[in-house]
Amino acid sequence: MPGTTSREVFWARIKAVFQGADPRVCAAFWLFGLINNVLYVIILSAALDLVGSDVPKGLVLLADVVPSFITKLCAPYFIHKIPYSLRILIFCALSACGMLVITLTPEDQDARAITIKMCGVMLASLSSGGGELTFLGLTHYYGHFALASWGSGTGGAGLIGAGAYAVLTNSFHVSPRNALLAFAFLPAIMLLSFFIVLPRGPLQFSSKSGHIGYEPVEDEDTVRDDGDADPHSEQEGLLASSMHSASGRSFTSTKSSKGLASAVVSFRANLRRARGLFFPYMLPLLLVYIAEYTINQGVAPTLLFPLASSPFGEYRSFYSTYGAIYQVGVFISRSSTPFIRIHHLYLPSFLQVGNLILLALHAMFDFLPNFYVVCIIIFWEGLLGGLVYVSTFAEITDNVPKEDREFSLGATSVSDSGGICIAGFISMAFEKGLCKWQVDHGRNYCKL
């Protein structure tokens, strides 16, 4: 438009992107994404403090992701029978109990204490996995703004969780135990968001067929809290999908089972769909998660410099700072979908593998000049990881037929959890091997 400045165009585009959004829905789902993921991030940031320098931090990663991964695989087949309000009460209780188990365990780093702490981590992981299924299912009733807000909140969880832990323990010198104890009360925010902030109009109780569930809003109208219809169709959303997809699975379905024979047929059909998703979408997402979590849990603990050349007074500060910088990059890229899209997913995935190779070689041969160069690479790692994540699901939304989209989004999401699990095993070997190499070559920082 003649006479329009680039700044005005930018703000006009921002306004167009968020036109019609309900502030209460956006706020509630952003907080859901934040709180559901923030304890996961905080636990990973505190991995060194939880298990000490002699235990691979990949152990914490596995305890923090495997229960969540198993929950994602199993829960969709029965979780729809539990009302949302009860689910959220259960998940909040699990999160709080998990954090209390971690913080009330003696700070000794013997095998017994570490085992008890890992049990607390696993409780929090169960809550995170179940919460993700619940809130993704809940977005069906609130439209594409809810889903976008959820995604941004999950990115914010990384930034706020890692940053808050690093600031409390490094800048304010709060003990790791007290910092984790303070975070144990965060799930209360999730309760307030659901029962007070979130408009309840779209959720309508139904007792059809003897099942507990909710009636989905119609595709063409999203019911507001006051009962009025939202003229913005759910089909316009970034990740909008049909309620009754060909997969036969819905997190909120109230229909009865079609029987064992139908289930077998559906399972085989889904396997065929999954094979078609593997190379274009699942493999690049898997690669990027293996690479970045191997960096974060297996290589980052060995990316150490003499304290005199760093801004820190103790070596444990390197690890939590790297985690916070990584999460800044993730938050920026996960919030960038309306403005930046990539269509060739393998390029950033291979670049992430390159980051892993570069940082592992530096841990061995110490050729990067200082701590700040490593920080730049870690920030770039976060940007790549978040960008591949959001672009993968955006590409599925653009390219997969609507009738297959719900299953495709859910099936592909297994790649990130699977990648993290694989990285957990790899990172334990990486950290031990790199630390031993450093000690054998006169650099014993990883043991301090």
**354 falls in which pLDDT band (50, 70, 90)?**
very high
> Which one of 333-342, 390-399, 433-442 scores highest in mean pLDDT?
433-442
Q: Is the pLDDT of residue 72 over 80?
A: no
**291 falls in which pLDDT band (50, 70, 90)?**
very high
Q: Is the pLDDT of residue 422 over 80?
A: yes
- The residues with which 229 forms a beta bridge, in sequence order, are 223
- Residue 311: how many other CB atoms lie within 10 Å: 10
Q: Is the pLDDT of residue 244 over 70?
A: no
Reduced to 3 states (helix: H, G, I; strand: E, B; else coil), residue 205 is strand
In angstroms, how far is CA 383 from the centroid of its own chain?
Answer: 14
Whose tokens are 């809550």? That residue is 127
Q: Is the pLDDT of residue 216 over 60?
A: no
**Which residues, 6 or more positions from 122, have their beta carbon under 8 angstroms from its beta carbon?**
63, 64, 66, 67, 98
Measured in degrees and rounded to the nearest 5, phi and psi for residue 238 equal -60, -45
Between residues 243 and 288, the one the model is more confident about:
288
Would you state the pLDDT for residue 349? 96
Whose tokens are 């989004």? That residue is 409
CATH number of 19-215: 1.20.1250.20
Would the CA dihedral through 140, 123, 190, 175 be positive or negative? negative
Would you state the pLDDT for residue 286? 93
The Cα–Cα gap between 338 and 331 comes to 14
Would you state the pLDDT for residue 204? 60
Whose tokens are 């289930």? That residue is 263
pLDDT in tens, 180-200: 999 999 999 999 999 999 998
User: Do the Cβ atoms of 122 and 5 come closer than 8 Å?
Assistant: no
Least confident of 194-198, 225-229, 338-342, 394-398: 225-229
> Which one of 207-221, 259-273, 387-401, 419-433 scores highest in mean pLDDT?
419-433
Measured in residues, the chain has a length of 448
- Helix, strand, coil shares of the chain, percent, nearest 5, are 70, 0, 25
Would you state the pLDDT for residue 314? 87
pLDDT above 90 as % of the chain: 34
| CATH of the domain spanning 257-442, picked from 1.20.1250, 3.40.50, 3.20.20, 1.10.10 | 1.20.1250
Gyration radius of the chain over CA positions: 22
Measured in degrees and rounded to the nearest 5, phi and psi for residue 412 equal -70, -30
- The residues with which 214 forms a beta bridge, in sequence order, are 205
Would you state the pLDDT for residue 213? 41
- The residues with which 213 forms a beta bridge, in sequence order, are 206
- Termini Cα distance of the chain: 61
Every domain range in the chain assigned CATH 1.20.1250.20: 19-215
Which amino acid is present at 258? K
Residue 98 vs residues 101, 124, 125: alpha-carbon distances, Å: 5, 5, 9
Summarize the confidence of residues 156-179 as an average pLDDT. Answer: 86
The Cα–Cα gap between 369 and 145 comes to 44
Between residues 159 and 114, the one the model is more confident about:
114
Q: Is the pLDDT of residue 440 over 60?
A: yes
User: Do the Cβ atoms of 44 and 320 come closer than 8 Å?
Assistant: no
In angstroms, how far is CA 155 from the centroid of its own chain?
Answer: 7
Q: Is the pLDDT of residue 60 over 70?
A: yes
Would you state the pLDDT for residue 226? 44
Least confident of 244-248, 342-346, 352-356: 244-248
Least confident of 12-16, 273-277, 345-349, 427-431: 12-16
Would you state the pLDDT for residue 131? 86
- Provide the pairing of β-strand 213-214 with 205-206: antiparallel
Would you state the pLDDT for residue 11? 66
Mean pLDDT, the chain, whole residue set = 79
Q: Residue 190 has which token pair?
A: 């999730």
Summarize the confidence of residues 72-93 as an average pLDDT. Answer: 82
Q: What is 70-87 written as a DSSP string?
A: HHHHHGGGTGGGS-HHHH
Would you state the pLDDT for residue 305? 93
Would you state the pLDDT for residue 250? 37
- Provide the pairing of β-strand 229-230 with 205-206: unpaired
- Residue 173: how many other CB atoms lie within 10 Å: 8
Would you state the pLDDT for residue 132? 79
Would you state the pLDDT for residue 17? 57
Between residues 114 and 234, the one the model is more confident about:
114
